[in-house]
Structure 1
Amino acid sequence: MNKNNTNSDSSVKTVKRNKTRESLPPKKYQVLEQDWSINQDGVNIYGRLYLPQNLPGKKKAVILSHGLAGNYRDVTKYAQYLAGQGYVAYAFDYPGGAKNGCSTGVGQLNMSIFTEEQNLKTVLNAVRNRSDVDRYQVSLLGESQGGAVSAMLASKYPKEVKSLILLYPAFSITDYAQVAFKSINRVPDTLNLFGFTVGKNYFAKLFNYDLLKSATKYNGPVLIMHGTDDIIVPETYSEKANKKFKHSKLYIFKHAGHDFKGKYVTRANRLITDFLKKN
């Protein structure tokens, strides 16, 4: 086995069904929610800030990215809890990639993981420049496609990302494109992808791109969570990513599907906050 492709500081833990009711530590701070839009180069990124009240000084921050056809509301279950624990949390709509989203400047048929990577860099810069944020303590959290995009950006700008949290990350995107169409010439002008219409631009760069390789170069601490019953992104992709990242931990949730709900959100929030305390 090639040592360069193997992570010597990785671990995998399977989280089984717990018959007892699971709970989280109570929130430490009341949470203030407010709209915050970020504008750059004709792109308007709408998002929602979650701020811990009566906590002075510069704080750690977490930027939360939704998946394809989602919107900022999909990750508020994590943002609200994080703010209650003392973090500045920001969840936003990807321009062109959010269903019923409020961001503008990228058409839905022009959206791709690469336009979203640019959007996330804009958000990262803005959050790091906030007066209430410690610019050296900003982490990225992403689910599904948002997880893949977060990993892409962290791999390019490792010094600007304190840590990385990935929920069922869609490292399968390039494999899907290459298997389904073989080349960009076979891709239709529009395509219904999991109930969301994307354009040819979504696939344009995917045939000469290895997402799993390019998005796992981040050398900081990584937390990955994935469910065994995920029918959108097989857990094997997270297992492969866990081996490629230099410092990562993978938690496999038994019986959880794509998009955690109920007790799986509780488990995820506990793992996220424990991880962020150390990283």
Structure 2
Amino acid sequence: MDKENNTPVVTRRPFSCRRDSLTIRGYVFRTGTEVLPAIIICHGFMADQRSVKHYAEFLAGLGMAAFTFDFCGGCLKGKSDGRQSEMSVLTEVEDLMAVIEYVRQRDDVDHEHISLIGFSQGGVVCALTAAKIPDRIERLILIYPALCIPDDARRGRMMFAKFDPSNIPPVISHFPMKLGDVYAKAVINMNIYDEIRGYDRPVLLIHGTRDEIVDISYSRKAREVYKQCEYLEIEGAGHMFSKGHDRIAMDALEKFILSKA
């Protein structure tokens, strides 16, 4: 307990688990030593777990065991194994499934209360994963999820990378990352809304009205697909929130978590 502020002290401890031959490395943020509900936090494309540390600390302060990790091959400077050229949304789903299984095996986690939160591409990964195992995921939080990725692949324009979608090259140049063709091929025939609609438990979906990377129309459509969806548009927010927009998102997140407790 922080005596000055009378708040629990959040600790950070490393963890690791395996996905096939690859090691996934991350941290768990929590208070105390009792059994806690868990939430797994997924970072976005080219980012790493450092980008979501403030959310992990916030969620730990709400009484959750918050897990962050680096996707295999999904970071510029990640701690996990894996090559960027072998990464795709689907390999990141496999990463997340491995982390979920690891979390379920821990003695300090309430296995009946595991939630997911994902940002941008991490949001897509969370949405796909939750739809595969809805009985294991209590709540799903999506923050500016990059549901545009399959459409982008079909257009042959994924972020700054351009290619012929009918003849995808072995390497997709996306400076400073070099992506393999699997990044596009894994999603080019995917109907993202058909894939995610299988999750029928509570969802919180947050998107900024000035998102320059993922058009807000993708989240507006997802809101209609989910059966139990709380939806928030943050006026003026772009892709990657400012501190002020993070505060708005965190307030909504706290209400969502506490209302479903």
**Structure 2: runs of 5+ lacking an equivalent:** 158-162
Provide the identity percentage.
Answer: 33
Question: Which amino acid counterpart does residue 224 of structure 1 have in structure 2?
Answer: L
1:174 pairs with one of 150, 163, 185: 150
Do residues 225 (structure 1) and 201 (structure 2) align? Answer: no
Do residues 136 (structure 1) and 112 (structure 2) align? Answer: yes
1:73 pairs with one of 50, 58, 71: 50
Q: Which structure ranks higher in relative contact order (CA pairs < 8 Å, sequence separation ≥ 6)?
A: 1
Question: Which amino acid counterpart does residue 116 of structure 2 have in structure 1?
Answer: L
Q: Deviations over 1:218-241 (max 9, x none)?
A: 100000100011110011100000
Paired with 1:32 and 1:207, the residues of 2 have a C-alpha distance of 41
Q: Check conservation: 1:29, 1:83, Cα contact below 8 A.
A: no
What RMSD in Å do the two structures reach over aligned CA positions? Answer: 1.7
Do residues 108 (structure 1) and 87 (structure 2) align? Answer: no
Aligned length: 251
Change in CA separation of 1:145 and 1:272 when aligned onto 2, cut-off 3 Å: same
Q: Deviations over 1:6-26 (max 9, x none)?
A: xxxxxxxxxxxxxxxxxxxx8
TM-score (norm 2): 0.91
Change in CA separation of 1:183 and 1:247 when aligned onto 2, cut-off 3 Å: farther
**Structure 1: runs of 5+ lacking an equivalent:** 1-25
1:41 paired residue number = 20
1:215 paired residue number = 196
Q: Check conservation: 1:109, 1:197, Cα contact below 8 A.
A: yes
Paired with 1:198 and 1:119, the residues of 2 have a C-alpha distance of 17
Q: Check conservation: 1:169, 1:238, Cα contact below 8 A.
A: yes
Paired with 2:38 and 2:6, the residues of 1 have a C-alpha distance of 16
Paired with 1:259 and 1:145, the residues of 2 have a C-alpha distance of 12
1:63 paired residue number = 40
Change in CA separation of 1:40 and 1:199 when aligned onto 2, cut-off 3 Å: closer
Q: Deviations over 1:255-277 (max 9, x none)?
A: 10101121111111111121111
TM-score (norm 1): 0.86
SS class of match (2:232): strand
Q: C-alpha displacement at 1:171, in angstroms? A: 0.4
Q: C-alpha displacement at 1:80, in angstroms? A: 0.4
Q: C-alpha displacement at 1:116, in angstroms? A: 0.4
Paired with 1:194 and 1:221, the residues of 2 have a C-alpha distance of 37
Paired with 1:118 and 1:27, the residues of 2 have a C-alpha distance of 40
Question: Which amino acid counterpart does residue 230 of structure 1 have in structure 2?
Answer: D
Q: Deviations over 1:14-58 (max 9, x none)?
A: xxxxxxxxxxxx8842101111111242110011110112x52x2
Question: Which amino acid counterpart does residue 167 of structure 1 have in structure 2?
Answer: I
Paired with 2:240 and 2:145, the residues of 1 have a C-alpha distance of 10
Q: Check conservation: 2:124, 2:145, Cα contact below 8 A.
A: yes
Paired with 1:267 and 1:193, the residues of 2 have a C-alpha distance of 32
2:225 paired residue number = 244
Paired with 1:183 and 1:150, the residues of 2 have a C-alpha distance of 28
Q: C-alpha displacement at 1:278, in angstroms? A: 2.2
Paired with 2:102 and 2:21, the residues of 1 have a C-alpha distance of 15
SS class of match (1:152): helix
